[in-house]
Amino acid sequence: MKVNEIGEIGLINRFSKILRSEYLGDDCAVLDLGEDYLVVTIDMLHRITDFPYEMTPYDIGWMSVAVSLSDVASMGAKPTGVVAAVGLPGDTEVEFAEGIISGMSECARSYGTEIIGGDTDQHAELTIVTTALGRVDKDKVKLRSKAKVGDLLCVTGYVGTPAAGYKVIIEERAVPEDDKKLLSKYFFKPMPRVEEGIKLSKYPFVTSMIDMSDGLGKSIYELSTASDVGFLVDADSLPLRPETIRLAKDRKELLEMAICFGGEFELLFTVSPDKIDDISDVAFTIIGKVVEEGLTLDDKGKRSEIVCKGYEHLRKKRNDVH
């Protein structure tokens, strides 16, 4: 069997059996430093699936660091360093390469950290791998595995914006110029929720957290698997930008964009219902609740199974709707 037949989840399951490591299963591995935890993540991005030619080198560098910082954010950790391996085609202009490094550096610095090391290599396809490190108090780390039945499901910011950006920029769907401007901004320069993650880590009643880089649907799936629970999502509660709503052809497409699309940089988390009003310093939206089993979408009383598992890197291209 080939890896593109088994898919990413199948492959990861097989790899996990070989690795037999207690560290696997969250957005970051967690290492005990004694006083606190070190979290560490690694992400591979490359030209064909992650860097459309509409992106500037600066955007490419920014995006590469942002994806790793988003993983650190999802653990409630404070970033403490990023290392990056950059594989460049030999005929890349030096200025282009410098643009990538500038974007990487500025993204890291925007979040209070920096690029502390790296490796450069010649590679047929532009390939960037980043590792972000972070630290978090032991009693504050957030995992995927602690969601409880009855908890409320919450998300920072909006969902569906990367999908809308993809449709405007890559598929060239016609929208008002102002909408295009805004959607491009979020598509090319995503802002990982580092501050929000750190703030949410302080609340012991935030029971689980995950970033949404693979989309809402897959993130819910991951939470459900790790916590052995189900989710009921209320379609009408999904926070959508007006630009996203205007762009969608119909409600079906709108919900697909909101649920089955990768590239989101928001945090998805669960909260004990009796304490949720105590979260005073983070803007978020309640989009559903934790139930015994199943991944269900309630759209004005009509219920359906959330079947998309979000982006499967080994099967489809990034940002494909599926």
Binding residues for ATP: 118-119, 144, 213
By CB under 8 A, which span of 123-131, 231-239, 256-264, 270-278 interacts with a second copy? 123-131
Lookup result for tokens 């950790």: 77
14 sits near a second copy (criterion: CB under 8 A):
yes
Position among 75, 88, 279, 295 found at the interface with a second copy (CB under 8 A): 88
Q: What is the DSSP string of 105-167?
A: HHHHHHTT--EEEEEEEE-SS-EEEEEEEEEEETTT---STT--TTPEEEEES-SSHHHHHHH
40 sits near a second copy (criterion: CB under 8 A):
yes
Position among 73, 77, 84, 210 found at the interface with a second copy (CB under 8 A): 84
Tokens of 283: 């803007």
Position among 56, 97, 199, 226 found at the interface with a second copy (CB under 8 A): 97
Helix axes 216-227, 251-259, angle to 10 degrees: 50
Closest CA to 22 of 31, 9, 33, 14: 31
263 sits near a second copy (criterion: CB under 8 A):
no
Position among 85, 170, 245, 291 found at the interface with a second copy (CB under 8 A): 85
Position among 52, 56, 92, 146 found at the interface with a second copy (CB under 8 A): 92
Q: Which residues on neighbouring strands pair with residue 29, listed in sequence order?
A: 40
State the sign of the Cα–Cα–Cα–Cα dihedral 53, 54, 59, 64: negative
- Residues 285-314 contacting a second copy, CB under 8 A: 313-314
What's the order of all strands across the beta sheet hosting 302-305? Answer: 206-211, 267-271, 152-156, 284-291, 230-234, 295-299, 302-305
53 sits near a second copy (criterion: CB under 8 A):
no
Alpha-carbon radius of gyration of the chain: 19
29 sits near a second copy (criterion: CB under 8 A):
yes
Q: Each residue of 107-134: b (16+ CB within 10 Å) or e? A: bbebbebebeebeeeebeebbbbbbbbb
Binding residues: 27, 41, 43, 50, 71, 118-119, 144, 211, 213-214, 311
Q: Which is nearer to a second copy, 98 or 172 (CB)?
A: 98
Position among 56, 110, 118, 234 found at the interface with a second copy (CB under 8 A): 118
Q: Which is nearer to a second copy, 42 or 276 (CB)?
A: 42
Position among 43, 211, 256, 264 found at the interface with a second copy (CB under 8 A): 43
Closest CA to 157 of 240, 223, 243: 240
Helix/strand/coil for 44: strand
Q: Please, what is the minimum distance in Å from the beta carbon of residue 82 to a second copy?
A: 10
Helix/strand/coil for 51: coil
112 sits near a second copy (criterion: CB under 8 A):
no
By CB under 8 A, which span of 86-94, 140-148, 227-235, 283-291 interacts with a second copy? 86-94
Q: Which is nearer to a second copy, 173 or 315 (CB)?
A: 315
Position among 13, 54, 112, 120 found at the interface with a second copy (CB under 8 A): 120
CA pair distance 31, 37, nearest whole angstrom: 6
Q: What is the DSSP string of 189-236?
A: S----HHHHHHHHT-TTEEEEEE-TT-HHHHHHHHHHHHT-EEEEEGG
Q: Which is nearer to a second copy, 23 or 292 (CB)?
A: 23
Catalog residues that contact a second copy under the rule CB under 8 A: 1-4, 6, 8, 11-12, 14-15, 18-21, 23-24, 28-29, 31, 33-35, 38, 40-44, 46, 48-49, 80-81, 83-94, 97-98, 101-102, 105, 114-125, 127, 129, 131, 133, 313-315
